Structure 1
Amino acid sequence: MVVPLRKDWPHLTIIALMLVGSLIVWPFAPQRVPIHWDISGRPDEYASKLPGLFLLPAVALGIYLLMVLLPNIDPGRANYRQFTTPYYIIRLVILLMMGVVHAIVLLWALGLEVNMVRVLAIALGLAMALLGNLMGKIRPNWFVGVRTPWTLASKRSWVRTHRMAGLTMTPLGLLIALAGVIAPYGWLVLGAILLLVADVIWLTLYSYLVWRSDPERISSIHTTPE
């Protein structure tokens, strides 16, 4: 599968805006820029001006290029043609999330103390809700989706686990986004972590149970997406 870059103008626009934003903020930014925040939304780690303002745009570009490359090196590359639009949206959502984080860094560099925890919880929750609607459309591959030894060893496990992921991720995402608006800081972080961990554990267990019930399953040591 070859990703047509001409159709990726929204992705490239996000990266360009991140870079332009850094260039605009550069003359006004302090020599040390916050790059990490504690659970109360206060910065607790700083970086010098250059990496603080330009590392995220560089990472975003690297992730974009990697995700363009992945369909060409994946042993299950043929399956990407079956979820071209979901893969397009997934790449876009990842870059949007990075753009949100970078925007907060730039605002802090300008002295505008936006609460990272709340904004990130809302953005993460909405991203999860959107991605949840796409999970059932993702076909077997090595890099995207719920990849456990059992989803990779059973098409039935892959399909059903991703449908289940869609059913859990969307409401959990909306709940996390709502918590980002109304929940106290401590409960917000703890609650989001517990919900995400519980979902991962459940989907992992579910993928195993479906694999066990699949008469066409193969040993997980011979996993090859089909």
Structure 2
Amino acid sequence: MGGSNPVVLVALLTAVSLVITIFKYHDAPEKVPIWWDLHAHPWLWVPRWFGLFFLPVLTFLVPYALYQTVVNSNLESHGHESKSSIFHIVVLPAIFLFIVQTFVLLPAAVDELHNFPARTFVANVALWLLIWLGHNIKHVEPNSVVGIVNPWTSNAAWDSLHQQAGLVFEVAGVLLFILAFFLPIGWPLTVGLIVLWLGPWIVAYALAYSTASTSSEREPLVSA
């Protein structure tokens, strides 16, 4: 990772998330919603301690597990831009979960009606899990952990595949971000989220398969 340890940033985000949660803890009722229906109304309730603290725990555990996988994948030969992008991708789950905890889950927990801030959630999916992810995968060098990794991805086709896939993610993210503020909450917003989140992955895998089918260089993907 070029001397930068993403776990430090992950730990900082986790600590801040815990502080904010503790500060808001007594403003929430004994039971808080953890799942909502399509119209953003609370549907499943859990004890306050679990409902408010499970995301801060995941804020650390998810990126830490990803970091351990990356560390064991011998990416030291990557250039600075690739290492920087991998750093951003490793901390991405922590950033996303921190924002969801702070601006989605906690407001819903302390709100009188406990409705889910659906537009805020969808906008953040678009911003981080599509636009930011798409931007960073463009710069990742061949490896077997981070990127569009599947049986059809080869080292020879890696760069062109990730440039195209990254652009697809970014375009889908911009569209979803805009639609997050205009689509009615319910089936329209839910379908828009599913299509524009899963769609880029399906397109990326289709691009990988298409490239492998037409390329004469089909050497398997190996760790850099």
Partner residue in 2 for 1:140: 142
2:47 is aligned to 48
What is the CA-CA distance between 1:209 and the residue it aligns to?
Answer: 1.4
Distance of 1:194 and 1:147 partners within structure 2: 21
1:181 correspondence with 2:185: no
1:44 is paired with a residue whose SS is strand
Describe how 1:1-226 pairs up with structure 2 within 5 A. Answer: 1=1, 4-5=4-5, 9-74=8-73, 76-80=74-78, 82=80, 83-103=82-102, 104-111=104-111, 113=114, 115-127=116-128, 128-151=130-153, 154-185=154-185, 186-218=187-219, 223-226=221-224
Label 1:159 to 1:18 Cα distance change in 2 as closer, same or farther (>3 A): same
Q: Which amino acid aligns with 2:69?
A: L
Q: Could you tell me the TM-score, scaled by structure 1's length?
A: 0.86
Amino acid at match of 1:142: S
Shift of 1:9: 4.8
Distance across 1 between alignment mates of 2:79 and 2:70: 9
Does the CA-based 8 Å contact 1:39-1:117 persist in structure 2? Answer: no
Kindly report the root-mean-square deviation, in angstroms, between the aligned alpha carbons of the 2 structures. Answer: 2.2
Is the contact between residue 147 and residue 162 of structure 2 (CA under 8 Å) also seen in structure 1?
Answer: yes
What is the CA distance between 1:3 and its match in structure 2?
Answer: 5.7
For the residue of structure 2 that corresponds to 1:182, the secondary structure is coil
- DSSP-derived class of the 1:36 partner: strand
Letter in 2 for 1:202: V
Corresponding letter in the other structure for 1:179: L
Cα deviation 1:32-86 (Å, max 9, x = unaligned): 1111222222221121111111111111111232233222212x53455551211
Structure 2 length normalisation: TM-score?
A: 0.86
Q: Secondary structure at the match of 1:68?
A: helix
Structure 1 or 2: more helix by fraction:
1
Mapped partners of 2:31, 2:18: distance in 1: 18
Shift of 1:181: 0.6
Output the CA distance in 2 between the equivalents of 1:203 and 1:122. Answer: 22
Question: How many residues of Structure 1 are paired with residues of Structure 2 in the alignment?
Answer: 219
For structure 1, the residue ranges without an aligned partner over 5 or more in a row are none
Distance 2:35 2:105 in 1: 9
Gaps of 5+ in 2: none
Paired amino acid for 2:126 = G
The secondary structure found in structure 2 opposite 1:181 is coil
Query: Are the aligned partners of 1:34 and 1:43 in contact in 2 as well (CA < 8 Å)?
Result: yes
Partner secondary structure for residue 157 of structure 2: helix
**CA 1:139–1:205: 2 relative to 1, 3 Å:** same
| Secondary structure of residue in 2 paired with 1:33 | strand
